[in-house]
Amino acid sequence: MSLTTSSSLAVAAIQLTSTPDVDASLSSALHYLEEAASAGADLAVLPENFGFLGSEKAKLAYAQSIEDGSFVAPLRELAAKKGMGIIAGGMPEKGPDDDRVYNTAVFIGRSGEVAGSYRKIHLFDIDLAGKISYQESASVLPGTEPMVVEFEGWKVGLSICYDLRFPEMYRSLVDQGAHILTVPAAFTLQTGRDHWEVLLRARAIENQCYVIAAGQVGEHLKGRASWGQSCVIDPWGTILQQAPDVEGITLATLDRSELQRIRTQLPCLEHRRL
């Protein structure tokens, strides 16, 4: 199906409270994917760390293939069964050694095929005095290539969480033709309350793209909690739908004519000089 025959796309941002309990985390993800499919979603986006959210060291035990690993295999099966695209927001892809993995988003097409994947480029290494200290690079290798995947005639740019703070990342996706920017995340409470919404809206406005942001929410284990506030934003920066502070799905419909209208009436992307 192309955009010449279908000008809209029903999407779902899935919000989870994943934990170190892999079976429970995957069960919850599959439950809400089923709910999204029943609601008519063409494309559903899972948050970062959907299958396991625990310590960085413990994550290494779940390093796996993005083709047939235990996290992605049931998603591929469900996608084919329901005829729905799924973005598996961030999972531990096996790297070249046993000490670090890639944090990888996997795009699964309607037939269950792996249509593309993206390895997180910007790693979350921060130290906010008295608030939070985190070193993702201790167990994760950075990717190097931005990724855009075509789905139903829409071009979908992939990113993960901390990438959100790097506008050049999203400009590179637009340079590849992106209409939609996806941001699966596990944004911390400390940074999320101040920066999550404003950064998402900025990425939508400056790139004149739809944004689908699927976040983790609530407490995952002692000392680790996520902001949530999953949402879908239009190319004008308007929040179309936003999640409450619980697990669930956030549904919205993307309209190609609205994207074209905004890009035509305010042609910022054509006015670029640098």
Angle between helix 167-175 and 189-207 (nearest 10): 30
Q: Identify the active-site residue in 161, 209, 231, 247.
A: 161
Q: Is 201 helix (H, G, I), strand (E, B) or coil?
A: helix
Is there a catalytic annotation at residue 120? yes
* Cα–chain center distance at 35: 18
Is there a catalytic annotation at residue 131? no
Q: Identify the active-site residue in 59, 120, 231, 247.
A: 120
Judge contact between 166 and 181, C-beta under 8 A: no
Q: Tell me the C-alpha to C-alpha distance, in Å, between residue 102 and each of 66, 91, 144.
A: 10, 8, 11
Judge contact between 84 and 43, C-beta under 8 A: yes
Residue whose C-alpha is closest to residue 128's, from 194, 67, 66, 184: 194
How big is the CA angle at 105 (ends 80 and 36), to the nearest 5 degrees? 45
Is there a catalytic annotation at residue 161? yes
> Sign (positive/negative) of CA torsion 226, 230, 235, 241?
negative
| C-alpha span between 269 and 265 (Å, rounded) | 11
Catalytic (active-site) positions: 48, 120, 161
